Chains A and B, each alone.
Chain A
């Protein structure tokens, strides 16, 4: 009895962590609407955002009511990685964030899909979506890294800036039964290879922040996240109990 409920609690917490990742990144990508560098990319970014939002809705619904969870939780109750909440920056920053996160998500969902845990059905569908997201990010990393001097410099800057948020992706999440060390090794190998092919330098700096209190998975976020939530939640919170 106790074991079952502890397992349920862990599964709920895990659904929140993975669901928040998808929700927050989808929101950030949604901010691009109307601003993309070329029309074709408007359509591509929206496709990725919609895939992620679909994943978020399934995952949050495993943990409770999707809208209550999305719109009525305080910042400290969100469990997403700090990486996904980072502002869009220029297109290079968005692509670097996509590269790092989608490579991680692809590996994670791949493992979950082949297991028999509660996330296997979702992961089976999501891993195909994520494969495309990863491919999109890879294609653009190659073009921006090995494009013009300006694009190379911007892409290197973005990779360097976001590198320190990448360690958190492999911090074990209770209720997600995968080989985290194996994921990290595979991630470093694949990402490093893409960066090298894009004529970029793999950063040497630390992959986590120095704060021992933790990061996103512990509910500790970065400053821009509070403003993002304020915008996202404002309307819903202004009409308590309303249906939309």
Chain B
């Protein structure tokens, strides 16, 4: 995905500044033509500043979501009720760290650095998906996250494999391939609970009740209130509208819930013959905006935990850097002090 060739974007931007208006117009025409022809834009290609900024924002937010998203699930690693489940959960949380890494690398091809992006996350200047500001209260939440949250994420991510920006699209191909087990393990986990003891069944239903609506919010605000959607679609960063993907997700989930023997917490949910889709009840967008603003049940906890891990790891990163520098200079430990 990321290529070294990309790293001197600062240089190419300086070049752009020198370029006269005709050159810019030429570049813009070439860029538009490439996007229109479904070609991929690669790191060293000329691209509009706004395209670059949009991608950095989106890829960074995506990477941050993977990293913060480790927390609610890692919360259950030490309590997983069987060794098989424990292995699955550890592998899944590990994958999320890996996916964060792929995505930070993709963002770095646009001329930013991981350090800069992490700093923006830690200081609240860049966001992560609001879904991770909800708590995992029971073991069944691990299943609900796999089925619903990963399910929604996959619905969002599959079209991103065809995103116009090459490194992002390639990262997403890898992520989607690896993530295919995430949703299935969640579904299987919930199925075991649903078919288990009455207490386990109730635990599963309770988790689905709590995660259903926040999962629908993951597709973002309705199309008419989504500020960046139109431009992103024109640039082929985004391929489908929020509402379109949300509807697709609802249609997929309804029969899956029936097979689980669990109900989705929406009395308005019913098949609409005419539309060929399920109708569903109104989403509480006030809650969405409130959580986004920092008022969710776990916003403060997630971010401060992330900051703490970073700060507590500083001495380790410094030590390795110091060691590497000394090796390069051919020095030994004697020169340390």
Contact = CB atoms under 8 A, between A and B. Distances in A.
Q: Find out whether A and B make contact in their complex, taking CB atoms under 8 A apart as touching.
A: yes
Given A33-B77, A43-B97, A148-B318, A50 B309 contact: no
Interface in B310-332: 312-320, 322-324, 326, 332
A240 to B, nearest CB: 9
Interface in A1-49: 23, 27, 30-31, 33-43, 46-47, 49
Contacts of A198: 333
Nearest to B87: A53
Given A43-B101, A91-B313, A149-B336, A143 B94 contact: no
A144 B305 CA distance: 24
Determine the main DSSP class of B at the interface with A: helix
B47 interface: no
Interface of B: 67, 70-71, 74, 77-87, 90-91, 93-94, 97-98, 100-101, 104, 139, 189, 192-193, 196-197, 199-200, 305, 309, 312-320, 322-324, 326, 332-334, 336-337
B57 to A, nearest CB: 20
Main secondary structure of the interface of A (DSSP, over half): helix
B319 A244 contact: no
B78 A30 contact: yes
A193 to B, nearest CB: 15
A43 B305 CA distance: 18
A213 interface: no
A236 interface: yes
A194 interface: no
B94 A47 contact: yes
A116 interface: no
A154 B100 CA distance: 29
Chain A interface bracket (under 10, 10 to 19, 20 to 34, 35 or more):
35 or more
B281 to A, nearest CB: 32
Nearest to B310: A37
Contact of B316 (A23, A31, A38, A243): A38
B147 to A, nearest CB: 16
Nearest to A197: B333
Contact of B326 (A43, A50, A146): A146
